[in-house]
């Protein structure tokens, strides 16, 4: 069954023609979740526009000049438009996606992008994603999360966009406790603005809350890829907290949850939580990945894994944020019908195989 999970075939079976021909915009479409969502929506027949600060392979995300936002010609967004020919700005765009360069911190450029692309649905995934508890992240998260999100909501309300689906984070406080990082504070602020635009300005906004998402193509500095790639080369992963717990969810399930949230026929007031509903410690994650590598790998990579290999931990970098929160799957099921279909072992096996091939390919 899982051989089809997350593929174009299984998505078509689940969603059929529900997105065929519909105009959608994905912000942050160069990011991990954004790129996977873009490929899924293209496969489902949607007319997909993807925005990023820069599509140039030479320019890392976030380094584009904020006053040089590029918007393609309006003629390229006709209903029968084909994907634009390759250009420096579209060199890294997924096949079938129309790439735009736009800094969402620039309200005039954001407004122009929406009036030009005229999306029916906006999937807002652009953000500075880091949970470091550092003062130097206050300004970047304020600008790139709060200001950018408010600019997009404002422009979407003006353009009479039907729906925005945006991402909250499990780092946000679950009660009245204060946020513990600039990222969590910024996301909490965006959630407040979602309520404002929803209730006062009539903009339909729905939030999804992915828990710790992993899968093929993720930045190797992230937790799961770091553990996998370290172990594949016989190096102990360097981590900060052995006892910290996470709710892990596979990227294909997150993409399904985002799409199901967008397609739900009624308004959804609370964030749709996308996770497994179960917590696992960092130590247990490492042990599980070691076991899966030992059982699956038959070449030189397997011989690099020592029988008692584990991670090394540096408590000086230990985070103070609360741990142990897991997704409320009853709410997700009741509101959208979403439940994860990948088990943790199956998802880890798929991810290990992808990084294993990447390591072999050099």
| pLDDT reported for residue 297 | 54
| Comparison of pLDDT for 103 and 268, the residue scoring more | 103
Q: If you average pLDDT over residues 62-71, what whole number do you get? A: 37
Asked whether the predicted pLDDT for residue 24 surpasses 80, the reply is yes
pTM: 0.85
Model pLDDT for residues 68-103, shown as the tens digit of each residue: 333 433 334 333 333 333 333 344 667 889 999 999
Using CA atoms, how far apart are residues 114 and 360, in angstroms rounded to an integer? 42
Using CA atoms, how far apart are residues 211 and 342, in angstroms rounded to an integer? 14
Q: Are 4 and 348 in contact (CB under 8 A)?
A: no
Asked whether the predicted pLDDT for residue 292 surpasses 80, the reply is yes
| pLDDT reported for residue 60 | 43
Kindly state the helix (H) or strand (E) to which residue 101 belongs, with its residue range: strand 98-101
Four-point Cα dihedral 128, 131, 135, 136, nearest 10: -40
Give the closest residue to 283 by CA, choosing from 309, 257, 317: 309
Give the closest residue to 42 by CA, choosing from 227, 259, 191, 229: 259
Q: ∠ CA 152-157-158 to the nearest 5 degrees?
A: 100
Q: If you average pLDDT over residues 159-185, what whole number do you get? A: 90
Q: ∠ CA 271-274-279 to the nearest 5 degrees?
A: 120
Token pair listed for 337 = 């019908």
Q: If you average pLDDT over residues 181-197, what whole number do you get? A: 94
Tell me how far CA of residue 267 lies from CA of 184, 261, 332, in angstroms. 25, 9, 13
Name every residue whose Cβ is closer than 8 Å to that of residue 264 and which is 6 or more positions away in sequence. 206, 335, 336
What is the SS3 assignment for 115? helix
Percent of the chain with pLDDT over 90: 62
Q: Are 303 and 296 in contact (CB under 8 A)?
A: no
What is the SS3 assignment for 358? helix
* DSSP-assigned beta bridge partners for residue 124: 27, 166
Four-point Cα dihedral 207, 105, 51, 138, nearest 10: -60
Q: Which domains does the chain have, with CATH numbers?
A: 1-210 (3.40.50.720)
């Amino acid at each position: 069954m899982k051989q089809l999970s997350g593929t174009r075939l299984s998505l078509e079976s689940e969603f059929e023609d529900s997105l065929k021909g519909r105009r959608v915009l994905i912000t942050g479409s160069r990011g991990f979740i954004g790129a996977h969502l873009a490929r899924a929506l293209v496969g489902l027949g949607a007319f997909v526009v993807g925005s990023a600060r820069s599509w140039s392979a030479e320019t890392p995300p976030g380094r584009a000049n904020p006053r040089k936002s590029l918007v393609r010609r309006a003629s390229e967004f006709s209903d029968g438009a084909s994907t634009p020919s390759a250009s420096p700005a579209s060199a890294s765009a997924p096949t079938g996606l129309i790439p735009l360069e736009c800094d969402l911190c620039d309200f005039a450029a954001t407004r122009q992008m929406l009036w030009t692309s005229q999306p029916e649905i906006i999937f807002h995934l652009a953000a500075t994603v880091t949970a470091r508890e550092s003062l130097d992240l206050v300004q970047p998260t304020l600008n790139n999360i709060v200001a950018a999100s408010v600019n997009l909501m404002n422009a979407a309300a003006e353009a009479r966009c039907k729906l925005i689906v945006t991402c909250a984070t499990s780092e946000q406080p679950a009660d009245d406790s204060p946020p513990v990082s600039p990222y969590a504070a910024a996301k909490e602020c965006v959630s407040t603005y979602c309520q404002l635009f929803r209730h006062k300005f009539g903009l339909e906004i729905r939030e999804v809350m992915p828990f710790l998402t992993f899968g093929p193509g993720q930045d190797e500095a992230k937790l799961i890829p770091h553990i996998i790639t370290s172990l594949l080369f016989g190096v102990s992963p360097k981590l900060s907290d052995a006892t910290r717990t996470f709710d892990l969810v596979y990227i294909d399930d997150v993409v399904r949850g985002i799409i199901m949230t967008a397609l739900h026929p009624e308004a959804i007031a609370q964030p749709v939580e996308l996770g497994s509903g179960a917590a696992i410690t960092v130590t247990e994650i490492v042990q599980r990945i070691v076991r899966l590598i030992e059982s699956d790998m038959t070449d030189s990579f397997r011989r690099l894994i020592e029988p008692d290999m584990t991670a090394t931990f540096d408590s000086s970098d230990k985070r103070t944020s609360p741990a142990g929160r897991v997704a409320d799957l009853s709410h997700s099921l009741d509101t959208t019908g979403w439940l994860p279909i990948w088990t943790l072992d199956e998802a880890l096996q798929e991810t290990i195989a992808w990084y294993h091939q990447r390591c072999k390919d050099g």
